[in-house]
Amino acid sequence: DSVIVKSPRKSPVFLRTIVLLFGIVCGIYICTVCLRQINTVSKIKTQNLQVIESPSPDSNILAQLEARIPTLHYPKPQTFSRGECIQNPVRFFAILSMQRSGSGWFETLLNSHINISSNGEIFCAMDRRKNISTIMQTLDRVYKLDWFNSASKNECSAAVGFKWMLNQGLIEYHKEIVEYFNYRGVSVVFLFRRNLLRRMVSLLANSHDRYAKLLNGTHKSHVHSQEEAAALSSYKPIINSTSLISDLREVEMDAVKALEYFNSTRHMVVHYEDLITNNTKLNDVQEFLGLPRKELTSRQVKIHKGPLSDFVKNWDDVIKTLNGTQYERFLQADY
């Protein structure tokens, strides 16, 4: 018997050709997808590089955020060892103000914080501000933690500073001081009074007490009892109504000038009246210094509490002088 073998319907060469074409198509597709992914990644990298090299206007937001963060320092004092607190960061600050603006009271509030050492009015002594060299030497001692007084918390202080009056060399050497503050990362707290007339009354009364010494023959700029406050407020100064407006304007311009000179520093502005009427302002100060919020307290008692008319001898003259001027608002009670 003969065996009949049927030939295949399709040639093997044809099938192999189809498989080859299919493989080529798949390969082309895969290569295309890969190329697209590579191009996408390249574009992203290029865009990132462009953003870094040519920052957009939105980059100012980053600068503003950085300006809100206090600089950290790790000082190495020469007079003692920080011991276990050597790794604890320290913030530097300075309170810029004018006499009788509440800076003494404000500083006692700050010093009630366990982490803050505010060293008082260190530039009241002439020998520390006779020239820019002595000023810089004094600043270095404070910020190296080598300045000692009753407010110093020494090795474990987390914020170190002092208060500086505008008439204590601050304006005279403002360029060098601004450069120092920016280089050392010193945060500035401006403390002003809105009611400059109240400040004037406080200034005149305090100047009188330097000589009169109403408290048992002693002079006190700040008191801690209602009895002492009543004794000091019993004196009613006479305000020079002839020069009153020019005097108020001069003080106002001093504050404006200080803000202008120190505008490039990291700073905040605090008003005495806001500290009295708004408890959250102290929280803002603590946040500005980069410290944990604590309840701040002071033993100081306000001396002139109540309407100004109770503390000025020639009040009628003051009213006539300020009525209809930009300073008329000072006649009203503000707290």
Q: Answer for the pair 271, 194: CB distance below 8 angstroms, yes or no.
A: yes
Buried b (16+ CB within 10 A) or exposed e, 105-137: bbbbbbbebebbbbbbbbbeeeebbeeeebbee
Domain-located, residue 254 = yes
Look at residue 8 and tell me whether its pLDDT is greater than 60. Answer: no
pLDDT value of residue 90: 95
Torsion (CA) 271, 103, 237, 196 in degrees, nearest 10: -20
Domain-located, residue 62 = no
| Arithmetic mean of pLDDT, 275-300 | 94
Total domain count, the chain: 1
Look at residue 35 and tell me whether its pLDDT is greater than 90. Answer: no
Paired with 165 in beta bridges are: 97
Domain-located, residue 271 = yes
The span from the CA of 21 to the CA of 281, in Å, is: 78
Look at residue 243 and tell me whether its pLDDT is greater than 50. Answer: yes
pLDDT band per the 50, 70, 90 thresholds, residue 152: low
Between CA 188 and CA 288, with CA 165 as vertex, the angle to 5 degrees is 20
Domain-located, residue 211 = yes
CATH number of the domain that residue 293 is part of: 3.40.50.300
Instruction: Name the range with the highest mean pLDDT among 50-54, 197-201, 214-218.
Output: 197-201
Domain-located, residue 60 = no
Task: Look up the domain containing 117 and give its range.
Answer: 67-331
Ranges 81-90, 165-174, 204-213, 312-321: which has the least confidence: 81-90
Look at residue 63 and tell me whether its pLDDT is greater than 60. Answer: no
95: left (phi over 0), alpha (psi -120 to 50) or beta: beta
pLDDT value of residue 209: 95
Residue that is written with structure tokens 């100012």 in the block? 60
Look at residue 291 and tell me whether its pLDDT is greater than 50. Answer: yes
Domain-located, residue 41 = no
Mean pLDDT of the chain: 86
pLDDT band per the 50, 70, 90 thresholds, residue 11: low
189 phi and psi angles, rounded to 5 deg: -110, 110
Share of the chain above pLDDT 90, in %: 69
pLDDT value of residue 44: 36
| Arithmetic mean of pLDDT, 55-67 | 52
pLDDT value of residue 195: 96
Q: Answer for the pair 95, 189: CB distance below 8 angstroms, yes or no.
A: yes
pLDDT band per the 50, 70, 90 thresholds, residue 318: very high
Domain-located, residue 149 = yes
Domain-located, residue 285 = yes
Look at residue 271 and tell me whether its pLDDT is greater than 80. Answer: yes
pLDDT value of residue 154: 66
pLDDT value of residue 55: 44
